[in-house]
Chain A
Amino acid sequence: DVKVTQSSRYLVKRTGEKVFLECVQDMDHENMFWYRQDPGLGLRLIYFSYDVKMKEKGDIPEGYSVSREKKERFSLILESASTNQTSMYLCASSFGPNYGYTFGSGTRLTVV
């Protein structure tokens, strides 16, 4: 069964901490994405990557960075966590246009 796996389901971090969210896919997809989901705002794109070491900003990249050292792994980094980054974070992967996404189960991050 093909999968996108996010390493943590729930995380609680303190303001100012550096936070790493990990995502691994086993479908040999070129493209990987990080979204956050907030009530009333839907899913908003933070960053995406179309190849190893390649990344592009999405709609809301401020306060975040990403790393893609291997094709199957895409990490989201919160450089200095703030309370307004409390959210559900969703990783997804895709072959490309007209293929849609496969999502991971999400990480519920709370910053206190």
Chain B
Amino acid sequence: DQQVKQNSPSLSVQEGRISILNCDYTNSMFDYFLWYKKYPAEGPTFLISISSIKDKNEDGRFTVFLNKSAKHLSLHIVPSQPGDSAVYFCAASASTDSWGKLQFGAGTQVVVTP
């Protein structure tokens, strides 16, 4: 049973516009959330994270929003660029997990068109 869900398998957006990726989770123990970006034939690379004590975190063009009551987070990319075309994975962990295991969503394929 997937504890982290990304219900949109794909997203197409024009260059310069905003990309919004959504993620829902079911485990109320999750208190640390991350987004990873993955290009084909490469491993995922860390993009941005947020702790449950915050509701927003920004890093350049990337902003993650967390709504704990709805168990929902989103990633905003503004403005979108062609190099942002990749698969984006949402991940979550609980600080009560001694080993910091991450649970991942199924991923969202983003395509940025010129």
Q: Write the residues of chain A forming the contact surface with B, with a CB cutoff of 8 angstroms.
A: 4, 6, 9, 31, 33, 35, 40-45, 48, 50, 56, 58, 90, 92, 94-106, 108
What's the Cα separation between A50 and B101 when bound, in Å?
A: 10
A4 CB contacts on chain B under 8 angstroms: 43
Q: How many chain B residues have a CB neighbour from A under 8 Å?
A: 31
B43 CB contacts on chain A under 8 angstroms: 4, 6, 90, 92, 103-106
Q: Write the residues of chain B forming the contact surface with A, with a CB cutoff of 8 angstroms.
A: 2, 4, 6, 9, 32, 34, 36, 41-46, 49, 51, 89, 91, 93-95, 97-107
B49 CB contacts on chain A under 8 angstroms: 100
Q: How far is the CB of B41 from chain A (nearest CB, A)?
A: 7
The answer to whether A98 touches B100 (Cβ under 8 A) is: yes
The answer to whether A48 touches B101 (Cβ under 8 A) is: yes
A95 CB contacts on chain B under 8 angstroms: 100
What's the Cα separation between A96 and B44 when bound, in Å?
A: 18
Q: Of A33, A40, A90, A102, which is within 8 A of B101 by CB?
A: A33
What's the Cα separation between A95 and B46 when bound, in Å?
A: 14
Q: Of A35, A45, A98, A101, which is within 8 A of B95 by CB?
A: A98
Chosen A-B contacts, 27 in total, with CB atoms closer than 8 Å, are: A40-B9, A40-B106, A41-B106, A42-B2, A42-B6, A42-B105, A42-B106, A43-B104, A44-B104, A45-B101, A45-B103, A48-B99, A58-B101, A90-B43, A90-B44, A94-B100, A97-B32, A98-B51, A98-B100, A99-B100, A101-B44, A102-B46, A103-B44, A105-B41, A106-B41, A106-B42, A106-B43
Nearest residue (CB) in A for B106 is A42
B102 CB contacts on chain A under 8 angstroms: 100-101
What's the Cα separation between A45 and B102 when bound, in Å?
A: 9
Q: Of A40, A98, A108, which is within 8 A of B93 by CB?
A: A98
B4 CB contacts on chain A under 8 angstroms: 42
Nearest residue (CB) in B for A102 is B46
Q: How far is the CB of A14 from chain B (nearest CB, A)?
A: 23
The answer to whether B44 touches A9 (Cβ under 8 A) is: no
What's the Cα separation between A96 and B101 when bound, in Å?
A: 8
